[in-house]
Structure 1
Amino acid sequence: MNINERILNDVTIMDLDGELAMEGNAQFRSRANTAIDAGARKLLVNMAKVPYMDSSGLGEIISCYMRLQKVSGRLILLNMNNRLQHLLVITKLAAIFETYDSEPEAVVSFDHPSQPVTQLAEK
């Protein structure tokens, strides 16, 4: 997995390229944790070039979401293909994650949320 990180205003954008599955998970986890440790509180994950995500990849997204919750941050998913959207629906996580198809809309939404953000409870 290749990850390009960029900052637009105060939003950290991670452009993922490759499968978010067993091999790409450690890279995503490391980069997301580094960004959060450095103070990122608005994380936009661009999934436009992610053809596939397995349950372990979904787990990494959930972990990142929960880590951001602990520091009053937000995670938004961008440009998810139909397969990835369907994965969120069948796992009932579509109600949890904010998703957008437009980067400008997603960036603006960090300051003007369009939907309530559901909290995930830690076990």
Structure 2
Amino acid sequence: MNYNIKEKYNCVIIEFKGKIMGGPDAEKFRDDLHNLIEEGKKEVVVDLGKVSFMNSSGLGLLIGGLTTMKNAGGDLKICRADKKIESLLVVTQLISVFDHYRSLDEAVAAYGG
């Protein structure tokens, strides 16, 4: 699991690449989110546009991220999920849990940025 963290219009963008399958990388992701919170950065968009596969542990990683941000008074939105990942979100009924956007710009704009 690879990801890059960058900022755009006072919003943090986490761009995932490849496969999201949880595991040891989940702890690093959690730590990165806590570091963002400590820096006062609580508006996060997870860009799934370059994700080729996600399993249940990957979904758990995103749910944990959403919970972490909500508990800190922030939010985590997702964008650019492909058809496979979107259908996974529908089947698990998580599509109603996450704010999901077709484009990165729409997700950032949802924060008013």
Normalising to structure 2: TM-score of the pair?
Answer: 0.88
The answer to whether the Cα contact below 8 Å between 1:52 and 1:84 also exists between their aligned partners in 2 is yes
Tell me how far apart the structure 1 counterparts of residues 50 and 28 of structure 2 sit (CA, whole Å).
15
Tell me how far apart the structure 2 counterparts of residues 72 and 36 of structure 1 sit (CA, whole Å).
9
1:3 alignment partner in structure 2: 3
Per-residue CA deviation, residues 27-75 of structure 1 (Å, 9 max, x unaligned), is 4333333323322211000111111111111111001101111122111
Report whether the alignment pairs 1:110 with 2:111: yes
Which deviates more, 8-17 or 33-42? 33-42
The answer to whether the Cα contact below 8 Å between 1:18 and 1:51 also exists between their aligned partners in 2 is yes
Uncovered stretches (5+) of structure 2, i.e. residues with no partner: none
The answer to whether the Cα contact below 8 Å between 1:79 and 1:100 also exists between their aligned partners in 2 is yes
The answer to whether the Cα contact below 8 Å between 1:88 and 1:94 also exists between their aligned partners in 2 is yes
1:14 alignment partner in structure 2: 14
Task: Summarize the alignment of residues 12-91 of structure 1 with structure 2, pairs less than 5 Å apart.
Answer: 12-23=12-23, 24-91=25-92
With over 3 angstroms needed to count, the CA separation of the structure-2 counterparts of 1:19 and 1:27, relative to structure 1, is: farther
- How many residue pairs match? The answer is 112
Which deviates more, 15-24 or 62-71? 15-24
- How far 1:22 sits from its partner (Å)? 3.6
Tell me how far apart the structure 1 counterparts of residues 76 and 22 of structure 2 sit (CA, whole Å).
21
1:48 partner letter:
G
Bigger relative contact order, structure 1 or 2 (CA pairs below 8 A, ≥6 apart):
2
CA RMSD of aligned residues (A): 1.7
Q: Secondary structure at the match of 1:4?
A: strand
Per-residue CA deviation, residues 51-105 of structure 1 (Å, 9 max, x unaligned), is 1111111111001101111122111101101111111111111111011111111
Q: Counting strand residues as a fraction of each chain, which structure ranks higher?
A: 2
Per-residue CA deviation, residues 3-45 of structure 1 (Å, 9 max, x unaligned), is 1111112100011111110454344333333323322211000
